[in-house]
């Protein structure tokens, strides 16, 4: 077990009519702000505000709609003292979000969708989450092909993104990497990546993991007819995964977990922390006796 620091918890605030996990529930800015404040009260370290659904098959919103969705929500939550990240692939949205108070740009495309986003990040000095990504949601699942192994491919493609980030002038201590669970990945790809996070950690950057409510958890829990568990009933599986990751079962500390039900995942982290403390106590007692 690792004695590394507990992961941070990033609570998801999707201001979208069609997000797969909570689509439409918080698409009005006032409801999204209230939801963000609730996630803060539940113990979120970071609030991730997004205005574009990236569920498989989704089509992109207009730039103006994405701005209208996220900017007022970020302004309000940052004004309450929250650490806010903006979940966007667009340079214009990233720029306006940082002006509105976001301190992190979470780009699921790692700068591939709109390379100018890297200039915004370099200029403003905010933290940048670069996720592994191959294409927009309408065709990403056609690209879930990893000859030679998903772990090595994701590592190599993230290494290419790191080179692009550095070339744009983004400092190493501003970079976070993410395996991109569910993005151009089949179920078994996600599990392989989770088991081999050490390979990605070998790139030398903190890791963010977003597993919460994703299809591969629904598939794990499918019913006897092969129907995946509905999105709203996948929380417990995600919480179990958070406990395992926080306890260091993957052998690699995770910097941040991106989740929907912050309170439930906080509970998982409390269990993992207690587990780690008890094991450390037991090891110390063992040494005293030796």
Q: Which residues bind ligand PMM (CB under 6 A)?
A: 12, 14, 19-21, 50, 54-55, 87, 106, 108, 129, 131, 178, 180-181, 208, 210, 213, 258
Least separation in angstroms between CB 280 and ligand PMM: 30
Tokens of 284: 């110390």
Query: Residue 213 catalytic?
Result: no
Q: Are 190 and 216 in contact (CB under 8 A)?
A: yes
Can you list the alpha helix ranges (DSSP code H) found in the chain? 29-41, 63-79, 91-99, 116-124, 150-167, 187-195, 197-201, 215-220, 235-247, 262-289
Which residues have C-beta within 8 Å of that of residue 235, sequence separation ≥ 6?
A: 212, 213, 260, 261, 264
Cα separation, 89 vs 111, whole angstroms: 7
Smaller CB separation from ligand PMM, 208 or 276: 208
If the CB atoms of residues 50 and 253 are measured against ligand PMM, the closer one turns out to be 50
Nearer residue to ligand PMM within complex by CB, 29 or 206: 206
CB of 129 to ligand PMM, least distance (A): 5
* Residue from 214, 229, 234, 266 carrying the catalytic annotation: 214
Whether 185 sits among the annotated catalytic residues: the reply is no
At closest approach, how far in Å is the CB of 197 from ligand PMM? Answer: 13
Q: Which is nearer to ligand PMM, 29 or 182 (CB)?
A: 182
C-beta nearest to ligand PMM: residue: 210
Following CA atoms 169, 175, 180, 184 in sequence, which dihedral angle do they give, to the nearest 10 degrees? 10
Determine contact, residues 97/80, Cβ cutoff 8 Å. no
Catalytic residues: 214, 258
């Amino acid at each position: 077990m690792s004695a590394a620091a507990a992961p941070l918890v990033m609570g998801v605030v999707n201001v979208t009519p069609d997000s797969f996990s909570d689509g439409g529930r918080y698409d009005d800015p006032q409801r999204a702000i209230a939801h963000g404040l609730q996630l803060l009260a539940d113990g979120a370290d970071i609030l991730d505000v997004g205005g574009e659904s990236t569920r498989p098959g989704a089509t992109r919103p207009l730039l103006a709609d994405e701005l209208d969705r996220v900017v007022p929500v970020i302004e309000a939550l940052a004004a309450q003292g929250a650490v806010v990240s903006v979940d966007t692939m667009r340079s214009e949205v990233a720029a306006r979000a940082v002006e509105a108070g976001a301190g992190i740009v979470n780009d699921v495309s790692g700068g591939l969708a709109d390379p100018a986003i890297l200039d915004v990040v370099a200029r403003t000095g905010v933290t940048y989450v670069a996720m592994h990504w191959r294409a927009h949601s309408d065709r990403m699942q056609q690209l879930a092909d990893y000859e030679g192994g998903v772990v090595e491919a994701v590592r190599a493609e993230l290494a290419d993104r790191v080179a692009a980030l550095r070339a744009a002038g983004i400092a190493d201590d501003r970079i976070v990497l993410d395996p991109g669970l569910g993005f151009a990945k089949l179920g078994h790809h996600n599990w392989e990546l989770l088991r081999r996070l050490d390979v990605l950690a070998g790139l030398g950057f903190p890791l963010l993991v977003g597993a919460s409510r994703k299809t591969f958890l629904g598939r794990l829990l499918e019913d006897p007819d092969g129907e995946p568990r509905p999105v709203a009933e996948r929380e417990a599986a995600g919480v179990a995964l958070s406990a395992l990751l926080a306890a260091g079962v993957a052998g690699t500390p995770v910097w941040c977990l991106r989740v929907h039900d912050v309170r439930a995942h906080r509970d998982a982290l409390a269990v993992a922390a207690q587990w780690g403390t008890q094991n450390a106590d037991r090891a110390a007692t063992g040494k005293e006796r030796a």
